[in-house]
Amino acid sequence: MGNVINFAHRGSSKICPENTMAAFKKGLEQGATGIETDVQLSKDGRMVLIHDETLDRTTSGTGWVKDHTLEELKHLDAGSKFDPVFQGEQIPLLDELLELTKESGTIINIELKNGTVMYEGLEEKVIELVRAYHMSERVIISSFNHYSLSYCKKLAPEIRTGILYMEGLYEPWEYAKTLQADALHAYHRAVLPEFVAKAKSSGKAYHPFTVNDCEEMERLLQAGVDGIITDYPDRLAALLAAKV
C-alpha cells in the first residue's frame, strides 16, 4: 500500500478553500503525496488554478474566468466564501504550485478545464511550464476532454495522462490504449476489483475520484488501485499508515 498516491483533491478542500495555496500546503501537511488541481487561462493567457469556469461560487468576483486578466483575478478574494479566516487567499498560478512542490517529490495531477471553454494553447502552455520545472516525470495531465489528452501525448509523450470519466465506459483500459493514456481517473463507483486487475495487466493505473468515505477508500485499496483522489488526505494517510 506504500506506493498508493494520496491525491489531495483541489488541496485539502474540506479544511481550506479549494485550489488555494492554503489548501495545497494543508494537504501536504496532512500526508498527501499528490495534489489534484484544475487549470484554466486568464484573459491574458496565464495559467490559473480554479475549478469553475465562472468566479461566483468560490471568489468575490463574478463572470467568466476567461474574461478577466491575471491582475484582475489576483485582486479577488478566493478564501472568505469558504471561511472568513481565509480572507485574502488568492487564485494561484500553476507556477506557484509547481514552485511549492518542485523539491518534495509530490505528484501533481493537473486537470485541464477545457470542456466548457476551449482554451486555445492550454495544452502547450501547461507542458512548457512542466518541462521548465523539470517535473515531467511527476505530473499527470487529466481531462474530461479526451481529444485534448490525445493531443498532449503527441506533444509530450514523456508526461503521463489520465482519462477522466464517469460510469459506464466499456473496457476503459482498452480505450486508454487508443489515446496512449497512462491512467484511468474514474468516478469511484465505476471501479471494481476485476477492472483494476485487467487495467494493471494492460499497464494502466487506476486513480478513482472523489473518495471521502473511509470504507470506500478501504474497498478501493483492497481492489489494488494505484492512487485515490480525496478531499480528506488525512483520512487516506491514516489508512495507508495502518497498512505499513
pLDDT digit string, tens, across residues 91-132: 999 999 999 999 999 999 999 999 999 999 999 999 999 999
102 three-state secondary structure:
coil
On average, the pLDDT of the chain sits at: 97
- In the predicted structure, residue 54 carries a pLDDT above the cut 80: yes
- In the predicted structure, residue 161 carries a pLDDT above the cut 90: yes
Residue 153 is predicted with a pLDDT of: 98
- In the predicted structure, residue 78 carries a pLDDT above the cut 70: yes
Residue with cell 478501493: 220
- In the predicted structure, residue 243 carries a pLDDT above the cut 90: no
For residues 152 and 127, is the Cβ–Cβ distance under 8 A? yes
Q: Which residues contact 28 (CB under 8 A, 6 or more apart)?
A: 8, 35, 101, 104, 106
pTM of the model as a whole: 0.98
Band of residue 244 on the pLDDT scale cut at 50, 70, 90? confident
Distance of alpha carbon 74 from alpha carbon 90, whole angstroms: 6
> Which domains does the chain show, CATH number per domain?
5-52+92-242 (3.20.20.190)
Residue 190 is predicted with a pLDDT of: 96
Residue with cell 517535473: 135
Task: Give per-residue pLDDT as tens, 182-206.
Answer: 999 999 999 999 999 999 999 999 9
Residue 2 is predicted with a pLDDT of: 59
- In the predicted structure, residue 1 carries a pLDDT above the cut 70: no
Q: Cβ–Cβ contacts within 10 Å for residue 223, how many?
A: 16
Residue 27 is predicted with a pLDDT of: 98
For residues 133 and 97, is the Cβ–Cβ distance under 8 A? no
- In the predicted structure, residue 80 carries a pLDDT above the cut 60: yes
For residues 102 and 88, is the Cβ–Cβ distance under 8 A? no
Q: Outline where the chain has alpha helix (H).
A: 21-29, 70-74, 94-101, 122-132, 146-155, 172-179, 193-201, 214-223, 233-242
Give the catalytic positions in this structure.
9, 51
For residues 196 and 224, is the Cβ–Cβ distance under 8 A? yes
In percent, how much of the chain has pLDDT > 90?
98
Q: Which of 218, 217, 175 is nearest to 195 (CA)?
A: 175
For residues 38 and 50, is the Cβ–Cβ distance under 8 A? yes
